Amino acid sequence: MEAKKALPILFVVMFLVMVGFGIIIPVLPFYAEEIGASPTELGLLMAVYSLMQLLFAPMWGRISDRVGRKPVIMIGIFGLALSFFLTAVSTSLWMLFAARIIGGILSSANMPTVMAYVADITSAEDRGKGMGIIGAATGLGFIFGPAIGGVFSKISLSTPFYIAAASCLLTFFLVMVILKESLTPDLRTGETKQKTPLLAAFKGSVSILFLLQLFVSLSLSGLEATFAYFAAEKAELGTVKLGYIFMIMGLASAIVQGGLVGRLTKKLGEGFVIQLGIIISIIGFALILLVNSFLTAAVYLTIFGIGNGFIRPSISSLLTKTSTIGHGSTTGLLSSFDSLGRIVGPPLGGWLFSITIGLPYISGIVLSLIALILYQIYKAKGKGLQTDI
């Protein structure tokens, strides 16, 4: 399927999937509490989903290398719909955990396989643009999803989960009818002879890019977990204004990923864009420490969001360029490192916040500097070397 035809379809697919995912974000804490979950159990509900993604994303990426992208994308979307429906009908805590575990296992197929699909259909020159479009769709879905969830939660706390399930089922049929397979049978046969991705990831300079993504994810998730408390204390901002702030940041990040990433990577290369994104993120972290009003919070968080928006699509593009086979294995492993950061980041950020409220953002600066140093090491070891991942 040609990139010009497939990319708009993939954009809609990932947008609808992330709308479905975003719908439950403002509702799940209250829904779990109503069923009887304690704050600790709520934290575990959130963590177990990321843990399943950490464990299973590489498996789905590898399977997509063997059987094709379309069936694995369909499994991921259907699994997400199933988990939302099971959540909606849950009457006890164990049912909620079962729904989250099933959702984590199956939905971990979505992101790496869609990114592998993009890598299949784009040239090396346009790879950054393709990855950026998927990043933009993801970001926009996260913006609209929570807003929709908040509206439908007024009917009942279970209603947003039914809406999310319906959104995913609609996406499932869209993929089934419209999307064509991107991986030809001859390429699938060749890709069954790969090395084990988890072992291959730690061989050669390419392993540094996975570690770089881990540090970026750690810094981002630490901010997400603590910024609401920080803004409430520093600028007396409530949930409504915080929602607007995150919406502004998300829109800016989506615009950057959908428009600027492709142009910049094509002109200056992924390496330049990765470094630019990290530097802007560092500036954003530093400015966040100076937040004292709604305006400063919106501007400074948006600066951070723009920087962060440059990084992930560029890393995805660079990684798939350094691999001649096994795009699914590569993107699956990248998703695992991202999930690991999202598991460790929130409790780490919360612990640092409990010591001093600005510490999560100081640590974000440090983590970002480490990511910048890692890229310099990667470049020194031989940027662009091919790997058998």
Mean pLDDT of 130-158: 88
State residue 270's pLDDT score. 94
Q: How far is Cα of residue 265 from the mean position of the Cα atoms in its chain?
A: 20
State residue 384's pLDDT score. 45
- Rounded to whole angstroms, how far apart are CA atoms 146 and 24? 7
State residue 325's pLDDT score. 52
- Rounded to whole angstroms, how far apart are CA atoms 228 and 48? 23
In a shared domain, residues 137 and 228: no
Which domain, by its residues, includes 63?
Answer: 1-192
- Tokens representing 45 are 């509900």
Task: Name every residue whose Cβ is closer than 8 Å to that of residue 36 and which is 6 or more positions away in sequence.
Answer: 92, 93
Mean pLDDT of 141-151: 84
State residue 191's pLDDT score. 45
In a shared domain, residues 134 and 254: no
State residue 386's pLDDT score. 40
State residue 203's pLDDT score. 66
Which residues are registered as beta bridge partners of 387? 323
- Helix ranges (DSSP H) in the chain: 3-23, 28-35, 39-67, 69-88, 93-107, 110-121, 127-152, 159-178, 185-191, 197-200, 207-235, 239-255, 261-268, 270-288, 294-321, 327-355, 359-382
Mean pLDDT of 248-260: 91
In a shared domain, residues 211 and 315: yes
In a shared domain, residues 214 and 360: yes
| pLDDT higher than threshold 70 for residue 128 | yes
In a shared domain, residues 235 and 140: no
Residue tagged 């500097």 (tokens): 369
3-state secondary structure 297-335: HHHHHHHHHHHHHHHHHHHHHHHHHCECCCHHHHHHHHH
> Strand, helix or coil at 270?
helix
| Domain termination site, one of 192, 226, 242 | 192
Share of the chain above pLDDT 70, in %: 92
Could you report the per-residue pLDDT of 29-38, keeping only the tens digit for each?
788 888 888 8
Could you report the per-residue pLDDT of 215-234, keeping only the tens digit for each?
999 999 999 888 988 998 99
In a shared domain, residues 38 and 181: yes
- Mean pLDDT (the chain) is 87
Mean pLDDT of 318-347: 86
State residue 387's pLDDT score. 40
| pLDDT higher than threshold 70 for residue 3 | no
State residue 31's pLDDT score. 86
State residue 144's pLDDT score. 86
State residue 276's pLDDT score. 97
Mean pLDDT of 3-11: 85
Could you report the per-residue pLDDT of 151-178, keeping only the tens digit for each?
888 888 889 899 989 989 999 999 999 9
Q: Using the Cα atoms of residue 355, residue 246, residue 341 and residue 253 in order, give the sign of their dihedral.
A: negative
State residue 4's pLDDT score. 74
- Rounded to whole angstroms, how far apart are CA atoms 62 and 109? 10
Mean pLDDT of 128-146: 90
Burial of 247 (0-12, 13-18, 19+ CB in 10 A): middle
Q: What CATH number corresponds to the domain at position 279? A: 1.20.1250.20
DSSP letter at 204 equals S
| Domain termination site, one of 192, 213, 236 | 192
DSSP letter at 257 equals I
In a shared domain, residues 154 and 251: no
Phi, psi dihedral angles at 387 (to 5 degrees):
-135, 165
Name the band, by pLDDT with cuts 50, 70 and 90, for residue 99: very high
Could you report the per-residue pLDDT of 295-318, keeping only the tens digit for each?
999 999 999 999 999 999 999 999
Mean pLDDT of 251-279: 93
In a shared domain, residues 370 and 247: yes
Higher-scoring residue by pLDDT: 296, 40: 296
In a shared domain, residues 217 and 345: yes
In a shared domain, residues 181 and 202: no
In a shared domain, residues 215 and 185: no
State residue 37's pLDDT score. 82
| pLDDT higher than threshold 60 for residue 246 | yes
Q: How far is Cα of residue 230 from the mean position of the Cα atoms in its chain?
A: 23
Name the band, by pLDDT with cuts 50, 70 and 90, for residue 200: low
| pLDDT higher than threshold 60 for residue 22 | yes
Mean pLDDT of 105-122: 92
Mean pLDDT of 343-351: 90
In a shared domain, residues 122 and 266: no
| Domain termination site, one of 148, 170, 192 | 192
Domain count, the chain: 2
